[in-house]
Amino acid sequence: MTTQRKPGWWYPWIFVGFFAVIITVNGIMMFFAFDSWTGLETKDHYVKGLAYDDNVAGARAQEALGWDVKLNVTTLESKDKERHVAYEVTFLDHNKKPVEQLKAHTFFVRPTSEGVDVDAPATLKEPGVLTGEMTLAVPGQWDVRVHAESMGRKYQLVERVVVQ
């Protein structure tokens, strides 16, 4: 004699299957998240966060200077795979005159990967004009960061460029 199953006996298995699929997909997503995460990008993030008000005040002071800063990056001809670039940064004050007694430091930072950033040495070509040349490891997007100072007044420029 056989016993007949009750109608709907398989309904609990729908819930089990549903949650099994959800747990499996979440596990796959967690694996790829942990596998692709490169770690903490900003060092001393807590301390930098505490200095937020100082950064805002610095940005307002920089805006009040009224400087006109222009960046020009040119890719130089090269036979090897590396990218040789030349750059020029022009600093004009609020009267459109070159900024005097300028000291600056330039960095080329790769926004998509770590380890290929370049500290770019700059020379003062003439008052208010910085120039430099360097070799970049890979083509693509780069953030050019210029930190300049003249007679106690500070200026920062961050501009994204594409190097072919």
Q: What is the pLDDT of residue 159?
A: 93
Q: Do the domain assignments include residue 114?
A: yes
Give the residue numbers spanning the domain of 143.
Answer: 67-163
Q: Do the domain assignments include residue 118?
A: yes
Cα-to-chain-centroid distance, residue 46: 19
Q: Do the domain assignments include residue 72?
A: yes
Q: Do the domain assignments include residue 126?
A: yes
- Residues of the chain under the 50 pLDDT cut: none
Q: Do the domain assignments include residue 16?
A: no
Q: What is the pLDDT of residue 38?
A: 67
Q: Do the domain assignments include residue 45?
A: no
Cα dihedral sign, 91-70-156-141: negative
**Kind and range of the H or E run holding 30:** helix 11-36
Q: Do the domain assignments include residue 87?
A: yes
The Cβ-side half-sphere exposure at 31, using a 13 Å CA radius, reads 6
Q: What is the pLDDT of residue 92?
A: 94
- Helix (H/G/I), strand (E/B), else coil: 98: strand
Q: What are the tens digits of pLDDT across the range 135-160?
A: 888 888 999 999 999 999 999 999 99
Contact in structure between 131 and 86 (CB atoms under 8 Å): yes
Q: Do the domain assignments include residue 77?
A: yes
Alpha-carbon gap, residue 32 to 89, rounded angstroms: 41
Q: What are the tens digits of pLDDT across the range 29-41?
A: 999 988 887 666 6
CATH, residue 119: 2.60.40.1930
Structural domains of the chain, count? 1
pTM above 0.75, yes or no: no
